[in-house]
């Protein structure tokens, strides 16, 4: 935490010519330090007329309550139940998802990639944090972290072990590094023992990580 605070002060001082020691004279935490700077940004940008705080509130609320992995799970469950939808999803995911009113509006450039007994897909953004936000919500911290970004493209089996996932040696691992504005959604394999389940029931077992490729859907035995 201290290293984080020092680094933040360093760059802020560096950027603004602000008296560097000033920050250390006060007895507030590293977080309130950041909070103050973000508050200053928001106030200045609001007073300049660029942003409306009520719109900011609505954005925060959307990410806290509406935009999350349930959107992606509904898409996966539908694909498991409806072969025509699945075909459309794999052909043009943006177009297919747009037909589902309850998922909401999404932008272009979504690509769905299908796991099979032969191929396991995994998604990373080594350069930053690209992620299908509209489908999965905000990326978890681990997705944006140095360990994941550095290792996913070189040692994906090791990364999967960190998640407790072990795949047969002869399964091809296909890593998609989202270096441009294309966003990838993994379509996991439907677990055995789910015949006759409704889309809603199926959506319950589709985990966020299974749609990134670092996990598998929850097995039916583990859900009750």
Partner 1 sequence: MDGIHDMGGMDGFGKVESEPNEPPFHETWEGRILALQRAMGYAGAWHIDHARFARERLPPQVYLTSSYYQKWALAMEMNVVERGLASREELRAGHALEPGKTLKRKLTPAVVQDGLTRGSFFRQQQAPAKFKIGDRVRTLNIHPKTHTRLPRYARGKLGMVELCHGCHMFPDSVAINLGDNPQWLYTVVFDGRELWGADADPKLKVSIDAFEPYLEPA
Active site residues: 125, 128-130
Least distance in angstroms from the C-beta of 196 to partner 1? 30
Which of 26, 28, 52, 95 lies at the binding interface for partner 1 (CB under 8 A)?
A: 52
Using CA atoms, how far residue 132 sits from 34, 68, 127, 223, in Å, is: 27, 10, 15, 26
Q: Report the alpha-carbon distance of residue 21 to residue 187 in Å, rounded.
A: 51
Least distance in angstroms from the C-beta of 77 to partner 1? 22
Least distance in angstroms from the C-beta of 1 to partner 1? 10
Q: Report the alpha-carbon distance of residue 68 to residue 152 in Å, rounded.
A: 23
Binding to partner 1 in span 154-173, by CB under 8 A: 154-157, 159, 162-163, 169-173
- β pairing state of 183-187 and 172-177: unpaired
Which of 87, 99, 116, 145 lies at the binding interface for partner 1 (CB under 8 A)?
A: 145
Which of 40, 87, 99, 223 lies at the binding interface for partner 1 (CB under 8 A)?
A: 40
Which of 81, 90, 103, 138 lies at the binding interface for partner 1 (CB under 8 A)?
A: 138
Does 180 sit near partner 1 (CB under 8 A)? yes
If you search the block for the tokens 């560096």, which residue do you land on?
A: 14
Binding to partner 1 in span 56-75, by CB under 8 A: 56-60, 62-64, 67-68
Which of 73, 106, 186, 206 lies at the binding interface for partner 1 (CB under 8 A)?
A: 106
Q: Of 168 and 193, which has the nearer Cβ to partner 1?
A: 168
Does 23 sit near partner 1 (CB under 8 A)? no
Radius of gyration of the chain (CA): 21
If you search the block for the tokens 């389940």, which residue do you land on?
A: 197
CA 105 to chain centre: 17
């Amino acid at each position: 935490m201290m290293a984080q605070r020092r680094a933040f002060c360093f760059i802020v001082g560096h950027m603004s010519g602000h008296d560097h020691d000033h920050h250390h004279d006060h007895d507030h935490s590293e977080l309130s330090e950041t909070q103050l700077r973000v508050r200053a940004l928001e106030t200045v940008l609001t007073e300049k007329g660029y942003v409306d705080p009520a719109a900011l509130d609505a954005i925060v609320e959307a990410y806290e309550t509406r935009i999350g992995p349930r959107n992606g799970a509904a898409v996966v469950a539908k694909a498991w139940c409806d072969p025509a939808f699945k075909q459309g999803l794999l052909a043009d995911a943006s177009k297919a998802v747009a037909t589902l009113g309850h998922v909401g509006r999404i932008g272009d450039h979504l690509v769905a990639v299908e796991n099979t007994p032969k191929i396991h897909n995994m998604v990373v953004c080594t350069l930053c944090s690209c992620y299908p936000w509209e489908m999965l919500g905000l990326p978890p911290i681990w997705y944006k972290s140095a360990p994941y970004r550095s290792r996913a493209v070189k040692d994906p089996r090791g990364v999967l072990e960190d998640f407790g996932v072990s795949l047969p040696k002869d399964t091809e691992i296909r890593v998609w590094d989202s270096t441009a504005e294309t966003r990838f959604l993994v379509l996991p394999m439907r677990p055995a023992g789910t015949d006759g389940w409704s889309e809603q029931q199926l959506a319950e077992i589709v985990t966020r990580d299974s749609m990134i490729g670092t996990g598998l859907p929850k097995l039916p035995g583990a859900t009750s």
